[in-house]
Structure 1
Amino acid sequence: MSHLSVHVPLDGGRAYDILIGRGLVDAVGAQAAALGAKAAGIVTDETVAGLYGARVRASLERAGLRCGIIAVPPGEASKSYAGYASVCDGLLALKIERGDLVVALGGGVVGDLAGFAAATLRRGVRFLQVPTTLLAQVDSSVGGKTGINSPHGKNLIGAFHQPRLVLADTATLDTLVEREMRAGYAEVAKYGLINDPGFFDWCEAHWRGIFSGGPERDEAVAICCRAKAGVVVRDEREDGERALLNLGHTFGHALERLTQYDSARLVHGEGVAIGLALAFRFSARLGLCSGQEAGRVANHLAMAGLPTRLQDVPGGSGDAEAMLDAMAQDKKVRDGALTFILARGIGQSFIAPGIGRDDVRAFLQDELRG
C-alpha cells in the first residue's frame, strides 16, 4: 500500500520523515529496527492500548525488539507532574537506554507526555510518534514540542525534542469518536486560516471527505504536515514565525485552563475552534479584517460541528477578568503584555504583540453578552 511522505529537513542529523497512510501501525517494528533499537517502551493511554497496543507490540516483537507498554488514563489530566513521573519510572523499569526508543502511541496528550519523558530520560532518548487522532496527526506529533501542564497553565513545563520518525496511520481515525474527529478538524482548518487561503477554500469543499475517510483525509494530513514542517525548519524554537501556529490558541488555552482541563466540558480542539472564531472577530473589531470574513470562519467551523462562541462552553467560561488572568500565563506573554495572533483576512495571520488588556476586556465582555 502506498503512503504519502513529508520530510522535515532539520540540520545536525535530526532530519526525519512523516509517513501518512492506512496500515502504518503494523510497520512500527520494521521502522524501529531500521533505527537500530534493541528495545522500545510504548507509552499510550488505556483506551488506545485496548485498540492498538497489542498490534504495535506484536510488530516490535516480530522485528526482534524487547518491549513493554505503559498506559496512562486518557485525557488532559495525565499531562501532569504525576503522569510524567509514572511514565519515566515505567520506562526505567523497562530498562530503556539511550539507544532504544520511546514509542508515543496515541493522541496529543500521549505525544506531549511521552515526548517530554523521552527528552529527559537519561538526558535524552530517541522516540517515535505514532499519532492516532486527527489533531495529533496534523499538529502536535510534528515539530518536537513536548511538555506537561501546571496548575498555572498549559504546556508550561517541557522541552523541544524532535522525534526520529512520525507514522500517521490514518486508519486509526476510523475508531475516533465524532467529537474527537471534529476537534482535530479545528487544527486542519487553522492551517488555511494562517497563510493558505486556497487550502481553506479546499477545506470548505472537501471537509466531509476528511471525516468519512476518503482520499481527502490523507491529503489533508499531508498538506498540514508540510505546512508545519516548513515553519518548524525556519523557526524550530518558536522565536518568531512559529508562533503563528498558535492562531486561536491564546483564547483556547485560557478556556482550557478555566474549565480545569476537564475534557467532559472542553477538549483542546474545541477550545481552538472557539479561539479561531474569537481571533477573527477580535481582528474585525480592531478593523483588521472584515466582519464578513470573520463570519465565514465561524460558519465553516460550525458546519463541521464545532463550537464558536464562549457561550458554547458547558458550564460557562468565566467572566472577562478570569479569561484575562488565564491568558496572562500564555507562553507568548512578553514583559507581561499579551501577544495575539490576529488576521488581516483568511490566510493573512500575523503576530500582534502588546495588545492592551482594556481592548481585550471590552471585546470579551461584548462576546459574553452575546
Structure 2
Amino acid sequence: MKPITTVPVKLDGGRGYDIRIGAGLVDSLPAAVREIAPGARALLVTDKNVADMHLAGVEMKFRRAGVDLRTAVIPPGERSKTLTQYVNLLKRLTEIDDARGVIAVAFGGGVAGDLAGFAAATYKRGIPFIQVPTTLLACVDSSVGGKTGIDLPAGKNLAGAFHQPRLVVMDLELLRTLPPRELRAGYAEVVKTALIFDKKFFEFLEAELGALLEAAPAAMARAVARCCELKARIVERDEFDKKGIRMVLNFGHTFGHAAEAALGYGRLRHGEAVAAGMLCAADLSARRGLISEAVVERIHEHIAAAGMPVQFKGCSADAIYSRMKLDKKFSSGKMRVVLLERIGKAVVADDATPAEIKAAIKGRVAV
C-alpha cells in the first residue's frame, strides 16, 4: 500500500478536517464522499483543462463505487471566478439536489476551489465540500484555510466567505501531469513557506531541488506535507484572518501582486511574480540590516536554479510602486511589508519608506 500522510487541521466547533497526502488518492474519493455525506449526490467542479485530462477516469471510479456523481466544467483561469459562474453553480446545485442532499467536490486549481467553495458556503447556508487540488500552488496554499470567493469588476476576491472543507485530498500523481512552468510557479509558494517558517525545510529544498522539479513522489510528499503542517498551524491560530497572524504569508506577495497588475494580468504566473517579489523583499531586508547580502544571494541562487524569475521584465520600478500604493497595506505614505529576519523567520515592518521600497524594486527590474 502506498504511504499516506495525514495532516490534521484542528478547529473549534467541529470545523476541523484532515489533509491526506499521497499517490493515487483519487481512488479513495468515492468512499470519502460516501463517508462525509451518505447517500448524497456529488457535484464535481473542475475546469476544462483538468476535465480533458482526468474527468473520464474520475467518473469511472464513482460509477464503479455506486456513488452518484454530477459535474460542472468551467473555463480555465481567473476569468471563471465571476458572478456568472457562481450563479451557474448555484443553479446546478438546485438541479441535482434532492432529499438525499448534495456535496460539492472542487477538483482543480485555486480557481475551481475558490468558486466551488463559495458556492458550497452559500447554497442552503452551507453544504459540505471536499478539496482535491490538482496544482502544487493549490496544494500548498489555497486549498487549506477555508478562504473561498469570486472576483468582482472592482477587484479580486471582493465577494467571499470562510468555509472550511470537510476533507482535502492531495493526490501527488496529479502533480506529475503539470506542465513544468506550472509546477515551478507552485514551487515558489513552497520556497516562501520555508523562508518564513523553517530554515531546515529550506535546506531540504536546496538538497532536493532536482527531485522536486520532477515531482518525485517521496520528495514532493515531504515538501507538501511540511507546507500543509505550517499553514495548518497558522489557520488554527487565526482561522478568520482577524489577528494579523496570517500577515507573514504575504512575504513576496505585496511586490508580486503589484508587478502582476503593472505588467497586465496573464503575463506572469502568480508564483513567478511571487518569486521575484520575494527577492525584492529580501533585498529590502538586507538594506535594513536584517539579513546579509550573502543570505540574499543564497535565496537568489535557489530561485534561479528552480527556473523562476529573479527580475521583473517589461515594466518600470515606478509602475510597480504606483500599484503598490493601491494596496490596503499602504497608509500615510508608508507600507507594511513582510521582511526576513533570517531564513526561517519573517517579521512585519510597518514603516517602510517610499525610497526604501523603490530602491528594492529597482534592483529587480529589467526593462
Q: Structure 2 length normalisation: TM-score?
A: 0.91
State the distance in 2 between where 1:98 and 1:291 align.
Answer: 61
CA deviation profile, 1:280-301 (whole Å, cap 9, x unmatched): 1121122221111111111101
Secondary structure at 1:306's aligned position in 2? coil
- Give, in angstroms, the shift of residue 73 of structure 1: 1.4
Q: How far 1:366 moved relative to its partner? A: 4.7
Q: Tell me the residue number matched to 2:225.
A: 222
Q: Distance in 1 between matches of 2:359 and 2:124?
A: 49
Could you tell me which amino acid in structure 1 is paired with residue 250 of structure 2?
A: N
Q: How many residue pairs get matched?
A: 363
Query: 1:349 is matched by which residue type in structure 2?
Result: A
In the aligned structure 2, how far is the partner of 1:171 from the partner of 1:204? 22
CA deviation string 1:245-287 (max 9, x = no partner): 121111122222234421xx21111111111111111211222
SS of the residue aligned with 2:169? strand
How far off is 1:323 after superposition? 2.2
| AA at the equivalent of 1:248 | G
1:127-150 CA-partner distances (Å, limit 9, x unpaired): 100011111112211111122234
Residue 42 of structure 1 is matched in structure 2 by: 44
Q: Which moved more, 1:105-114 or 1:347-356?
A: 347-356
Matches within 5 A, 1:184-263: 184-212=186-214, 213-238=216-241, 239-262=243-266
Q: Is residue 13 from structure 1 mapped to residue 14 from structure 2 by the alignment?
A: yes
What's the offset of the Cα at 1:190? Answer: 1.1
Q: 2:88 is paired with a residue of what secondary structure? A: helix
**CA-to-aligned-CA distance 1:32-80 (integer Å, 9 cap, x gap):** 1001241111111101111222233333344443221111111222223
| Counterpart Cα distance in 2 of 1:208 and 1:259 | 30
1:1-370 to structure 2, matched below 5 A, reads 1=1, 2-37=3-38, 38-95=40-97, 99-212=101-214, 213-238=216-241, 239-262=243-266, 265-311=267-313, 316-317=314-315, 319-330=316-327, 332=329, 338-368=335-365
Structure 2 CA distance for aligned equivalents of residues 96 and 241 of structure 1? 41
In structure 1, C-alpha distance between the alignment counterparts of 2:196 and 2:10, rounded to whole Å:
22
C-alpha distance in structure 1 between counterparts of 2:191 and 2:98, whole Å: 38
C-alpha change, 1:159 and 1:290, in structure 2 (3 Å) is same
> CA, structure 1 residues 362+231, in 2 after alignment: closer, same or farther (shift >3 Å)?
same
Rate the CA distance shift 1:260–1:159 in 2: closer, same or farther, 3 A: farther
CA distance 1:3–1:334, shift in 2 (3 Å): farther
Q: Return closer, same or farther for 1:17/1:325 CA change in 2, 3 Å cut-off.
A: same
Q: Which sections of structure 2, spanning at least 5 residues, go unmatched?
A: none
Structure 1 unaligned segments of length 5 or more: list them.
Answer: none
Looking at structure 2, the residues matched to 253 and 61 of structure 1 have their Cα atoms a distance apart, in angstroms, of 42
- Percent identical: 47
Kept after mapping to 1: 8 A contact 2:276/2:364: no
Distance in 2 between the 1:367 and 1:184 partners? 21
Q: Which amino acid aligns with 2:229?
A: R
The two structures have a TM-score, normalised by structure 1, of 0.91
Q: Measure the CA separation in 2 of the matches of 1:268 and 1:204.
A: 22
Segment of structure 1 superposing worse, 52-61 or 278-287: 52-61
Structure 1 residue 369: Cα displacement: 6.2
When residues 231 and 98 of structure 1 are mapped into structure 2, their CA distance, relative to the original with a 3 A threshold, is farther
- SS of the residue aligned with 1:339? strand
